[in-house]
Structure 1
Amino acid sequence: MKFENRTQKVTPFPQFLFRLGRYGLFALGLIVFSVLMGTFGYHYYGNISWLDSFHMACMILTGMGPVVEMKAPEAKIFSSLYALYSGVAFLSITAVFFAPIIHRLLHILHVEQDDDDK
């Protein structure tokens, strides 16, 4: 997953769309991993149903907050650690998804022109 530098030409649009799809799939994989980790953790430590665990993991990952109150100490510790992880993961996943778009915009603005183009 390497970007071109400023001395190289801007990637053609179909290749850019392919790159965007690859980064999107990688971001989706990170989301699925994070939700599964939270779902299993809430189900195991919080002793709540699979559906409620999934709901709780999704709400925490997106920053909406908890839905079910955790009573057991180990459930509270897991919930706290998962919330810290989710804050970092959400921002990182967003950065991964938008990286090709931001790079393309900046690359278009900063690409060096050849003497023939001037």
Structure 2
Amino acid sequence: MRKNKNILPPKEFAKRVLKYSIFSLLLVVISLGIGILGYHYIGDLGWIDSLYNASMILTGMGPVNVMESNNAKVFASMYAIFSGVVFLSTVAIFFSPFAHRLMHLLHIEEIED
């Protein structure tokens, strides 16, 4: 980064925030879809129960329905781990434009080797 580089104007910053927000939302929707399909087809749950379970796991609240088969238990375990990573990644992606702007405002420079 150059010290004389100005921060983005508000309109450009809003575009960047919108772009990162859309990407974050897309990541959540795809992750939720994976959970819904897995709970429906592997866990033998109805569509609404699959949505409910996937939503609860993805947001970190925990499982709702008990998984009966070993395959369903393995899926639920893997989806829980996946969801934890996705949740943290989504938060990081969503807030990165704000953190970047804050670093510019505070004049925090990247250390060059």
Determine what percentage of the aligned residue pairs are the same residue: 49
Aligned residue number for residue 75 of structure 1: 72
Question: Per-residue deviation at 1:111?
Answer: 6.8
Question: Per-residue deviation at 1:6?
Answer: 4.3
When normalised by structure 1's length, the TM-score is: 0.88
When normalised by structure 2's length, the TM-score is: 0.92
- 1:102-117 residue pairs with structure 2 within 5 A? 102-110=99-107
- 2:100 is equivalent to residue 98 of structure 1: no
Aligned residue number for residue 50 of structure 1: 47
Q: Distance in 2 between matches of 1:111 and 1:86?
A: 32
Which runs of 5 or more residues in structure 2 are unaligned? none
SS of 1:53's partner is: helix
Q: Distance in 2 between matches of 1:43 and 1:24?
A: 28
Question: Per-residue deviation at 1:93?
Answer: 0.4
Q: Which whole-Å deviations, capped at 9, do the CAs of 1:58-84 have from their partners, x for residues lacking one? A: 100000000000011000000000000
Q: Aligned residues, how many?
A: 108
- Extract structure 1 runs of 4+ deviating beyond 4 A: none
Which runs of 5 or more residues in structure 1 are unaligned? 113-118
Q: What residue identity is the alignment partner of 1:87?
A: G
Q: Distance in 2 between matches of 1:15 and 1:6?
A: 19
Contact 1:45–1:78, Cα closer than 8 Å, also in 2: yes
